[in-house]
């Protein structure tokens, strides 16, 4: 298997997502969230996905520009989230799935989002959430760094995927919510919604094994029920930001 940061790994992951219907369910859920959020945006301006990698968002969201931090087959543009190559107020929508916790300087990204989004534009983020089920997995099993006690949002990064803090979305939008609101008054948090307690983990994620060979529809329904009963069970989270004046 190629290293996490090898650009050639995109083809490997694309093949893996294609053969795991249970994992494709996870991504389709994320992309439906993109589409719903985009429908609430102004009619003018570009729509950008960051960290598109091996995903298939363009199959679900028409007109979306895909991007990666390094050149990848099938991705439209090379874009660093910390320095977006777009004019002021030229975008209406920015989205990402499992990307925020890999950005070494999220403050730089949020400043860029404030600059590039037109008023009424939105950011839609799907990422990890330290719920009752996911916390022990993220802390002791998952291969990426996870530090919910970090005193800063920044971290050292050796590469686009190997560098991470899996607790980062929770740090920014839950623990340090007041700090975020003070730093970025033009990015209003309109949603922080945990979901998917079990499905992603049982699918094996981006590993080769899979405990849901039949597609995972029943587990997806169970996940919805569990999240309604106890949001703290969620392993992932939908975060939506609105660009205000």
Taking the C-alpha atoms of residue 112 and residue 88, their distance in angstroms, rounded to an integer, is 9
CB 99 within 8 A of CB 81: yes
Q: Which whole-number Å values give the CA distances from 201 to 1, 50, 117, 205, 207, in the listed order?
A: 20, 23, 34, 6, 10
Q: What is residue 3's predicted lDDT score, i.e. its pLDDT? A: 66
Q: What is residue 159's predicted lDDT score, i.e. its pLDDT? A: 77
Taking the C-alpha atoms of residue 208 and residue 212, their distance in angstroms, rounded to an integer, is 12
Q: For residue 4, is pLDDT > 90? A: no
Taking the C-alpha atoms of residue 15 and residue 101, their distance in angstroms, rounded to an integer, is 24
Q: For residue 1, is pLDDT > 70? A: no
Q: How many residues does the chain have?
A: 245
Record the tokens describing residue 241, joined without a space.
Answer: 């930001």
Q: For residue 193, is pLDDT > 80? A: yes
Taking the C-alpha atoms of residue 87 and residue 70, their distance in angstroms, rounded to an integer, is 21
Q: What is residue 157's predicted lDDT score, i.e. its pLDDT? A: 84
Q: What is the pLDDT of residues 33-57, one digit of tens each?
A: 999 999 999 989 999 999 999 999 9
147 φ/ψ angles, rounded to the nearest 5 degrees: -135, 90
pLDDT: is 212 or 132 the higher one? 132
Q: What is residue 160's predicted lDDT score, i.e. its pLDDT? A: 77
What SS3 state is found at 174? helix
CB 161 within 8 A of CB 102: yes
86-102: average pLDDT: 99
93-102: average pLDDT: 98
17-37: average pLDDT: 96
Record the tokens describing residue 149, joined without a space.
Answer: 């006690």
Radius of gyration of the chain (CA): 17
DSSP 46-71: EEEEES-TT--GGGTSTTPEEEESS-
Q: What is the pLDDT of residues 144-180, one digit of tens each?
A: 999 999 999 999 987 777 799 999 999 999 999 999 9
Most confident of the ranges 6-10, 87-91, 139-143: 87-91
CB 184 within 8 A of CB 110: yes
Angle at 14 between CA 106 and CA 117, to 5 degrees: 35
Taking the C-alpha atoms of residue 187 and residue 119, their distance in angstroms, rounded to an integer, is 10
77, containing H or E segment: strand 77-78
Q: Which domains does the chain have, with CATH numbers?
A: 16-45+89-243 (3.40.50)
Q: Which residues contact 122 (CB under 8 A, 6 or more apart)?
A: 37, 38, 40, 41, 92, 93, 94, 240, 241, 242, 243
């Amino acid at each position: 298997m190629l290293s996490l940061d090898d650009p050639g790994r995109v083809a490997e992951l694309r093949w893996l997502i294609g053969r795991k219907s249970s994992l494709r369910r996870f991504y389709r859920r994320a992309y439906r969230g993109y589409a719903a959020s985009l429908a609430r945006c102004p009619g003018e301006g570009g729509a950008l996905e960051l960290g598109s990698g091996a995903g298939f968002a363009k199959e679900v969201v028409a007109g979306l520009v895909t991007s990666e931090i390094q050149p990848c087959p099938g991705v439209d543009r090379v874009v660093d989230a910390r320095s977006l190559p777009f004019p002021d107020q030229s975008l209406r929508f920015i989205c990402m799935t499992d990307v925020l916790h890999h950005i070494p300087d999220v403050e730089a990204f949020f400043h860029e989002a404030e600059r590039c989004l037109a008023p009424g534009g939105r950011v839609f983020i799907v990422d990890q959430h330290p719920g009752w089920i996911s916390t022990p997995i993220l802390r002791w099993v998952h291969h990426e760094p996870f530090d919910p006690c970090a005193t800063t949002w920044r971290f050292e990064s050796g590469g686009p995927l190997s560098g991470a803090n899996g607790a980062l979305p929770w740090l920014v939008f839950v623990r340090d919510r007041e700090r975020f609101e003070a730093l970025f008054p033009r990015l209003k948090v309109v949603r922080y919604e945990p979901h998917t307690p079990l499905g992603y983990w049982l699918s094996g994620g981006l590993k080769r094994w899979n405990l849901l060979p039949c597609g995972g529809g029943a587990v997806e329904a169970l996940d919805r029920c569990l999240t309604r009963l106890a949001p703290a069970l969620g392993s992932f989270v939908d975060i939506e930001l609105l660009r205000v004046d």
